[in-house]
Amino acid sequence: MGRPDPKVWDAMLSHLRQHHSSMCRHWFEDIEPQDLSGVTLRLLVRELVQLKYLQRSCAQIFGEAAQAATGRLVGVQFIGEDDIGDDGRPLTPIVKQEAALPSNGLGTTRRDLGALATDDDMLISPDYSFDTFVIGPGNRLAHAAAVAVAAKPGKAYNPFFIHGGVGLGKTHLLQAVCQATMRLHQGIRIHYVSCNAFMTQFIDAVQAGVMNDFRSRFRHVDVLVVDDIHDLSRRDRTQEEFFHTFNALFQSGKQIVLSSDAPPAEIPLLEERLVSRFNCGLVAEMEKPCFETRVEIIKRKSALRNLLVPDEVANYVAARIDTNIRELEGAINKIQSLADLAKTPIDLDLAKQAVGERLSIAGSAPTIQMILEVISAYYDVRLTELLSKRRSKSIAHPRQVGMWLARKYTRYSLEEIGGYFGGRDHTTVMHAIKQIELKRHNDVAIDREITRIEELLTNDEAPGTSAGSGAALVMTIPTVIPAPIAMAG
């Protein structure tokens, strides 16, 4: 077992920058290569949130980089501080099998996020911290309150309820609260979950007859953070359970943090008693960012990726994209990949190419590619997951919505749509369409959700919303959509 040659690590970083530039973060440079023995390279990551993130999302690309740098099959294992002894040597012996499975990436590190429990699908992103959050007139109050909540959980504002439109930074702020709280209060127990995950776990617990487990999971915490609480709309039994969860925590002085796309009183069919509970702490709105804030966000996001973006480019993009921030990020992605492709520095011409192209899409009929991109951005699922065989609800629903939209907006046959959605047959597409029709009919929240996606797709302003924002299609993923997979027979 020996320290890896520093040249190997440098070569890995440059491989990552070259081949996975959009995944690269400036803090990758803080990772400390520990030892390279046989087929495993161990990388020490001192920040827990970064460690978890790397284990979940980056093992494969680091494995690739290690292989490129060494010219042999090397698996990467990310380890935390708990995995090294006082002498700085790793405690746990390398398990051969892990090295053979570089794409698993979970490793055997004994240290977990500890105090922070999250639902599987709700990974805390190291990108979503207070440091990277840009403060502007539209979010100043929400930000200040979030900082206060993290400093004094249960004492500053309880509950703390933030609301605002899609892509305005609610999830970012919630995760920043989790990360700062964890850092400031040793041993504090935080549970961060989406409302949908709360609901699913509740239903599962009822069916399995393990409500005690469920209750102890959600009630024995110091801070409960629930994202997208508007999804409680119409869910009578879940509302009832959440009401009791809320009371149990609130009465014992525990902090509750919630986000929603609407203020409490405007969440459709939310019980009055929940509305009044949600209103009894601080309700803060997040509004669209102004020009200066948008410019600063572009700069901050670019810095996070070690990207050099000249002022004129930041100004140009901020002037053209004035809706949600996810779109700004999409533009940065696109500019970055164009620069990578052309192997040139980022300049105004590239920005015009990237953003100009976006605008030309507005007004034209949606294509399958646009549908996939909008779905992927809206539900925050990866394109590869949409096209994969995975059937978990968090993927299956967006995929079904995508098929339904493809049927409505394109001229493709059921077979062709199935082909574009990862080689599914026409009966699956038919089933998806029926499911979505049914859900829209039975569920106001889903109906609203799909209407919103259609607005994004067709660039129509919703009736009653503020006048034309000039929003073009959300283009967050500069990915080439694979050709449809033909179905046999």
User: Which residue number, 77 or 324, has a Cβ lying nearer to ligand ADP?
Assistant: 324
Q: Which stretch binds ligand ADP (CB under 6 A): 67-75, 80-88, 103-111, 168-176?
A: 168-176
d(CA 235, CA 198): 12
CB nearer ligand ADP, residue 142 or residue 354: 142
**Around 34, how many Cα atoms within 13 Å sit in the side-chain half-sphere?**
24
Residue 151 has phi, psi (to 5 degrees) of: -75, -40
> Bridge-partner residues for 41, per DSSP?
36, 76
405 contacts 371 by C-beta, under 8 angstroms:
yes
Q: Which stretch binds ligand ADP (CB under 6 A): 109-117, 132-140, 312-320, 460-468?
A: 132-140
Beta-carbon count within 10 A of 141 CB: 16
Q: Answer for the pair 304, 127: CB distance below 8 angstroms, yes or no.
A: yes
One residue of 172, 288, 407, 424 binding ligand ADP per CB under 6 A: 172
Scan residues 40-79 and list those touching ligand ADP (CB under 6 A).
Answer: none
Instruction: Compute the least distance from the CB of residue 440 to ligand ADP, in Å.
Output: 22
Helix (H) or strand (E) holding 255: strand 255-260
Smallest distance from Mg ion to CB 261, Å: 9
By CB under 6 A, tell whether 133 contacts ligand ADP.
yes
Question: Beta strand 223-227 with 116-118: parallel, antiparallel or unpaired?
Answer: unpaired
Choose among 120, 119, 92, 117: nearest CA to 107.
92
Q: How far apart are CA 334 and CA 65, in angstroms?
A: 23
Q: State the residue number with the nearest CB to ligand ADP.
A: 169
**Counting contacts by CB under 6 A, is residue 329 touching ligand ADP?**
yes
For residue 301, how many C-alpha atoms fall within 13 Å in the half-sphere facing its CB? 23
List the one residue from 11, 39, 117, 166 that touches ligand ADP (CB under 6 A).
166
- Is position 222 an interface residue for ligand ADP (rule: CB under 6 A)? no
Q: Which is nearer to ligand ADP, 287 or 385 (CB)?
A: 287
- Name the residue among 80, 44, 48, 41 with its Cα closest to residue 64: 41
State the binding partner of 20 from ligand ADP, Mg ion, none, CB within 5 to 8 A by kind: none
Q: Which is nearer to ligand ADP, 150 or 325 (CB)?
A: 325
Q: For Mg ion, give the closer residue by CB, 116 or 417.
A: 116
Helices 59-70 and 6-19: angle between axes, nearest 10 degrees: 120
- Kindly tell me which residue out of 54, 116, 168, 406 binds ligand ADP, with binding defined by CB under 6 A: 168
Q: Pick from 52, 170, 235, 439: which binds ligand ADP (CB under 6 A)? A: 170
- Residues in contact with Mg ion by CB under 5 A are 170-171
CA distance 44 to 64: 18
Which partner, Mg ion, ligand ADP, none, binds residue 134 by CB below 5 to 8 Å per kind?
A: ligand ADP
Q: What does 262 interact with, of ligand ADP, Mg ion, none (CB < 5 to 8 A by kind)?
A: none
Among candidate residues 49, 60, 122, 118, the one with its CA nearest the CA of residue 394:
122
- Within positions 110 to 129, which residues make up the interface with ligand ADP, using CB under 6 A? 128
If one asks whether residue 139 binds ligand ADP (CB under 6 A), the answer comes out as yes
Among 102, 107, 126, 167, binds ligand ADP (CB under 6 A): 167
DSSP state at residue 123: P
Q: Does 260 bind ligand ADP (CB under 6 A)?
A: no
Q: Which amino acid, one-letter code, is at 354?
A: A
Which listed option, Mg ion, ligand ADP, none, makes contact with residue 153 (CB within 5 to 8 Å by class)?
A: none
Q: Where are the beta strands (DSSP E) in 214-317?
A: 223-227, 255-260, 282-286
Task: Looking at residues 280 to 299 of the shown chain, list those that interact with ligand ADP (rule: CB under 6 A).
Answer: 297
Choices 15-23, 72-80, 164-172, 394-402; region in contact with ligand ADP by CB under 6 A: 164-172
Full strand arrangement of the beta sheet holding 255-260:
116-118, 190-194, 223-227, 255-260, 160-164, 282-286
Binding residues for ligand ADP, per CB under 6 A?
128, 132-134, 139, 164, 166-172, 297, 300, 325-326, 329
